[in-house]
Structure 1
């Protein structure tokens, strides 16, 4: 039911603006390009939603097929984050602090999963942190766990809603967050992935102060420890 609603909304918007354009109900070229821009945003929203739904649908099968150890670098994880989100960080003039232990580690699940987990949380911090805010990223190894801590000076999450944010399609019903784009599936995917690999995620948050996500992921071994 939720998926149908989430798919129906952008489709209705796209259909409406396409009809407006086909009937030439626009005043000038500027308004035409404005309509096209809205259509493009809704198409991208649909693509992201379909991708997230497929990710949820295939998680268990993908995990069951994994029977190998994979090596990854904590430094590369950070460099990848910087590369992917550099434009968004600059757009919002955010101050991002990076702290990490430069380690080569081994995990017994796909390293792409780890990238998805960290990228989803980091992207949320960017979305919900106002312009000129700050984000702090820490990665370290402790007791054969990889600990990822992402803190921000964002809008925060009310205590009564903190357990709900990992539910599918849940988005905080706040006036200042309604305009923020998202499918409401990102943190649900994160939680589902962590459950499958025996990982944990914790949240500390206060309204108008910020949020801190702490992720603990078991590792098989550490290289050159």
Structure 2
């Protein structure tokens, strides 16, 4: 193995440098072309739009492996070199709601690649990619985030592997795990530091304050920070549990029943903030095959999040509708909104949009990560649209099942 790596090292050093240079050039060209496209669309120039189409065709014909995906990791472009080597066509990946699961069926590989896509570091990583035939190929990929939030990937092939787990990628996988752990420790330290600092200050003042009413103010502040710490720890434990969970207790589940239960459970919280919750449950078929406890937790987190970020006298509307063979659930609020720059990152663990949004609630930064993890486990889709000062709409799509289907089907 060491001899193979040594022989490979020098012969591909120049190739690696060349590909890194090409990646940077393509990123710049894409940004420039997007600006031109915006201008050209305003001018409605057929000739110029033809030029853009030709450029996209050029990308598809590049001899290196090349793809573009959106922030939700849905395929936008998959070039011919990828198709020839791995077998998957661009149409197949575009039509699949979770194309990464085709390429990385192992859960650890899938999570590692997701993390690298989120970080979009311009560094080549070794990974095992499954071809359409079921064979695994050892490849190197690097990613960068484009100005529109989409992710560009460029890579090259090393060799076909006989089995999905090999020593040659063990070091890279271990490095990814270490990075995840380091990031987790850093995020936890940051999130614990603020409430602990406030508690420490309030305890100091409480011990020295003679006035009973002011002592009560300090005591109330301490209780609130303890609540924040408890929520943070509970959410971290929940995230760990979901990461380690491989099997769901699936059964036929009425989503309307879950939403009515959640509405009842969150009614007091909404009334305290003077936020109205409206249910418009219009789906013809509200049944899905799901783990009801996990799905309940996802919807609860999502609606609680909407309440937290909606100012007094605002409103939240929960809608359902049936679209083809899917149940669509929309949670729309009139809250403070999310900036366009922050939207691609809102499902990232411990991420809390801009300063105004994070200080508005002091949340744990894990609520939406938990929601997305649960929806992903159910092979569903979640999307978000938002405008600062107007509000946010989360849309979830789950596969429907027949009303009278057996739970074991």
TM-score normalised by the chain length of structure 2: 0.50
Instruction: Determine the structure 2 residue equivalent to 1:44.
Output: 227
Q: CA deviation at 1:196?
A: 2.3
Decide whether the 8 Å contact of 2:285 with 2:327 is kept in 1.
no
Q: Which has the larger radius of gyration?
A: 2
Decide whether the 8 Å contact of 2:327 with 2:399 is kept in 1.
yes
More helix by proportion, 1 or 2?
A: 2
Instruction: Determine the structure 1 residue equivalent to 2:264.
Output: 83
Q: CA deviation at 1:202?
A: 0.8
SS at match of 1:179: helix
For these two proteins, the number of residue pairs brought into alignment is 219
Decide whether the 8 Å contact of 1:74 with 1:103 is kept in 2.
no
Decide whether the 8 Å contact of 1:103 with 1:223 is kept in 2.
yes
Instruction: Determine the structure 2 residue equivalent to 1:13.
Output: 198
Q: CA deviation at 1:105?
A: 2.3
The worse-fitting range, judged by mean Cα deviation, of 29-38 and 68-77 is 68-77
Identify which of 166, 175, 200 aligns with 2:381. 200
Q: Deviations over 1:28-79 (max 9, x none)?
A: 11111111111111111111111111111111332x233x432322332122
Instruction: Determine the structure 2 residue equivalent to 1:127.
Output: 308
Instruction: Determine the structure 2 residue equivalent to 1:223.
Output: 403
Give distance in 1, aligned partners of 2:223 and 2:187.
23
TM-score normalised by the chain length of structure 1: 0.88
- Unmatched 5+ residue regions in structure 2? 1-185
CA RMSD of aligned residues (A): 2.1
Identify which of 270, 274, 294 aligns with 1:93. 274
Q: 1:93 to 1:168 in 2, by over 3 A?
A: same
Q: Which has the higher contact order (CA 8 A, sep 6+)?
A: 1
Instruction: Determine the structure 2 residue equivalent to 1:71.
Output: 252
4+ runs of 1 displaced by more than 6 Å?
none
Give distance in 1, aligned partners of 2:285 and 2:301.
22
Identify which of 207, 215, 224 aligns with 1:32. 215
SS at match of 1:136: strand
Decide whether the 8 Å contact of 1:204 with 1:213 is kept in 2.
yes
